Amino acid sequence: MSDNTATQRSTVFDPHRQFALSSSQSIQDCFRLARATTGRERLVKFDANYHGHLDATLVVAAGGSVALEYHGTDPRALETTEVISFNDVNALEQVLSPRDVALVIAEPAMTNIGIIEPVAGYHEAIRTLTRDTGTLLLIDETQTLMCAYGGLTNEYRLQADMFVLGKSLGGGIVPFSAYGLADEVAARIEAPHAAFEVSGEPVDEIALGGTMWGYAVGAAAARAALEHVLIEEAYERTIALGERLADGLERTISGVDLPWTVQRLGTRAAYTTAPVVPRDAAEARAADIAGFKDAQRVHGEPRRLGFRLVGRTVPVGGAHRR
């Protein structure tokens, strides 16, 4: 095993780890562990963060309250999931003050409504407040592992009780996810449990895992990704490409005199129609232009797929060739 692989593994897996087929499943396991560890039910997520197709996370902010994001989800999630603004320490302090929250789930930086980075000291405040109130902290790196070597948990030197990886860990080949656990949480799995033999009776353990969790093909793909793809040299090159893309976006936007802003996050680049980078989802939504996202889909998707549009054919990936 190369030194790079050993470093990457220790960064993303230590001190304890479990495996699943998707981040949604890893996050569900983490919710159960948090509730069993703390004896509490409530969860806190941030406005516009996506953490999988789970009833508990498909809850959105709605005028000072919360609402179901989709039809068909369990309305009881509205009683146990709180949604607050990112980068708002006062909101976090207020929601944690009753000391009845089992878990706060967060991305290191928000990525589902453009890119919203944490303001200086925000993650330190999250960690301090969660510890002070006996609340566990879960960092979801599903979409940010690719931003920096070891993910943004490594880049920002974050300390969490649990973290989740997915998608890219399987190398784009197979479904695979992993979640890491601090000692206190892992002890809930490792503790002795009463043996049981009959189905249909209460069981003395936490409901975790599944038939294909940690399956051999997925583990082999994850190992290959860690040894050959998610290596420091590859990140250095991809970060440079991300900077090149961001520079090009800035030149283009400036050339047509639009008051838009380019966002940079390691390997990733994005743009917002806001004149300054938003601090939270509300600011990002306020900058939306009616119909603009629909226009992006109409004009962008056919070109991406190589369809003929306005008399010109652009092959798949053609926009990236020179």
Q: Give CA–CA dist 227/220, Å, rounded.
A: 11
Do residues 113 and 144 make contact, with C-beta atoms less than 8 angstroms apart?
A: no
Residues 225 and 242 placed together within one structural domain of the fold? no
Residues 246 and 282 placed together within one structural domain of the fold? yes
Query: What backbone torsions phi and psi does residue 24 show, to the nearest 5 degrees?
Result: -55, -45
Long-range contacts of 125-129 (CB under 8 A, 24+ apart): 125/89, 125/92, 126/92, 127/158, 127/159, 127/160, 129/89, 129/92, 129/93, 129/96
Q: Give CA–CA dist 206/181, Å, rounded.
A: 14
Residues 204 and 280 placed together within one structural domain of the fold? no
HEC states along the chain? Answer: CCHHHHHHHHHHHCCEEEEECCHHHHHHHHHHHHHHHHCCCEEEEECCCCCCCCCCCCEEEECCEEEECCCCCCCCHHHHEEEECCCCHHHHHHHHCCCCEEEEEECCCECCCCCECCCCCHHHHHHHHHHHCCCEEEEECCCCHHHCCCHHHHHCCCCCCEEEECHHHHCCCCCCEEEEECHHHHHHHHCCCCCCCCCCCCCCCCCCCCCCCCCHHHHHHHHHHHHHHCCHHHHHHHHHHHHHHHHHHHHHHHHCCCCCEEEEECCEEEEECCCCCCCCHHHHHHCCCCCHHHHHHHHHHHHHHCCEECCEECCCCHHHCC
Specify if 15 maps to a domain.
Answer: yes
Do residues 74 and 46 make contact, with C-beta atoms less than 8 angstroms apart?
A: no
pLDDT value at position 300? Answer: 67
* Sign of the torsion angle spanned by Cα atoms 37, 183, 87, 294: negative
Do residues 34 and 103 make contact, with C-beta atoms less than 8 angstroms apart?
A: yes
pLDDT value at position 312? Answer: 35
pLDDT value at position 309? Answer: 39
Residues 294 and 201 placed together within one structural domain of the fold? no
For 26-60, how does the pLDDT look when each residue is reduced to its tens digit (9 = 90+)?
999 999 999 999 999 999 999 999 999 999 999 99
pLDDT value at position 198? Answer: 65
Q: Cβ neighbours of residue 157 under 8 Å, at least 6 residues apart?
A: none
Residues 19 and 116 placed together within one structural domain of the fold? yes
Residues 272 and 283 placed together within one structural domain of the fold? yes
Residues 212 and 238 placed together within one structural domain of the fold? no
Query: What backbone torsions phi and psi does residue 269 show, to the nearest 5 degrees?
Result: -140, 145
Last residue of a domain, one of 184, 206, 231: 231
pLDDT value at position 293? Answer: 78
Q: Give CA–CA dist 254/139, Å, rounded.
A: 36
Residues 41 and 161 placed together within one structural domain of the fold? yes
Q: Which two tokens stand for residue 57?
A: 């996370």
| Number of folded domains that form the chain | 2
13: domain CATH number is 3.40.640.10
Using CB atoms within 10 Å of the CB of residue 19, give its burial: 0 to 12 exposed, 13 to 18 middle, 19+ buried: buried
**Residue with structure tokens 């190992």?**
223
Residues 125 and 243 placed together within one structural domain of the fold? no
**Structure pTM?**
0.87
Q: Cβ neighbours of residue 137 under 8 Å, at least 6 residues apart?
A: 103, 104, 106, 126, 127, 130, 160, 161, 162
Specify if 314 maps to a domain.
Answer: no
pLDDT value at position 199? Answer: 75
Domain of 7, in residue numbers: 3-231
Those residues of the chain that have pLDDT short of 70 are 1-15, 196-198, 300-322
Residues 58 and 153 placed together within one structural domain of the fold? yes
pLDDT value at position 320? Answer: 36
For 233-284, how does the pLDDT look when each residue is reduced to its tens digit (9 = 90+)?
999 999 999 999 999 999 999 999 999 999 999 999 999 999 999 999 999 9
